[in-house]
Amino acid sequence: MYKLIKVGAFLLIFVQTLSAQNDQMGNWLMYFGTNKISNKLSIHSEVQYRNHTVAPVNTEQLLLRTGLNFHMAKNAILTAGYGYVAGHVYESEQTTPESEESRIFQQFILTNKVGRIKFEHRYRFEQRWVNKVYKNRYRYRLMLFIPLNKKAIEKGTLFLGIYDEIFINDKETIFDRNRLYGALGYQLRSNTGIQAGLLRQNVNGFGKTYLQVALVFNPDFRKKE
């Protein structure tokens, strides 16, 4: 119970800090999947429905992403994939996207543990076609998973997820975007977890807070003997 009180206090402070600005808050509803098809290969699947407002009725972006993962080791994953992003202007009457982006990406994820805390380093390189204009972008994200009621994240674990991610362009504004995220998660099953929290995104000096709810579902597609 004492741990839950500390978690609640942390989230309350976090919400107050991120909401201190007068910006309007948005909403991201997300799904992530890693589906094993062999001992070394898995398929990454991802859907993000992003809204200008907290109520999911004013679409900001729809992001679809998939890729093939190569599990180099227990703590190292190499991925190549494709993503599509449809962007919509706030309260636009246009039904089709105002912007469209296709991107190819390569990424490397490396994890390690210090005590009970899991560190995840994600390095991503993107080749982007934004309204048919080509751009390159580099991203680095450091994420911490902190189990609260158990020593490791397993079925029945309550945990904190915290990350910061920087975005680096190869031209124009080099550092144009940063994301700071904090959430409370619960591991429903060994392959299923949920997270709910807040993300603070700063783009070219403008900041906005997003309420985020994520489902992580990792069914195993390997044939059973």
Question: Each residue of 56-78: pLDDT tens digit?
Answer: 889 999 999 999 999 999 999 99
Per-residue pLDDT for 1 more than 50? no
Say if residues 53 and 24 touch (Cβ distance below 8 Å): yes
17 versus 70: which is more confidently predicted?
A: 70
Beta strand 59-73 with 41-51 is antiparallel
Helix and strand numbers (H, E) in the chain are: 1, 11
Contact 178, 142 (CB under 8 A): no
Q: Are the C-beta atoms of 75 and 110 separated by less than 8 Å?
A: yes
The answer to whether residue 53 scores a pLDDT higher than 80 is yes
State the DSSP code for 156: T
Q: What is the pLDDT averaged over residues 91-99?
A: 89
Q: Is the pLDDT of residue 188 over 50?
A: yes
Query: What's the confidence (pLDDT) of residue 21?
Result: 44
pLDDT digits (tens, 9 = 90+) for 112-151: 999 999 999 999 999 999 999 999 999 999 999 999 999 9
Range with lowest mean pLDDT among 23-27, 75-79, 110-114: 23-27
Alpha helices in the chain (DSSP H): 2-18
- Asked whether the predicted pLDDT for residue 12 surpasses 90, the reply is no
Q: Which domains does the chain have, with CATH numbers?
A: 2-217 (2.40.160)
Confidence of residue 224 (pLDDT cuts 50, 70, 90): confident
Instruction: Answer yes or no: is pLDDT of 22 > 50.
Output: no
Nearest to 122 by CA among 69, 86, 174, 192: 69
Q: Residue 43: what pLDDT?
A: 98
Q: Would you say residue 2 has pLDDT above 70?
A: no
Buried b (16+ CB within 10 A) or exposed e, 57-84: eebbbebebebebebeeeeebebebebe
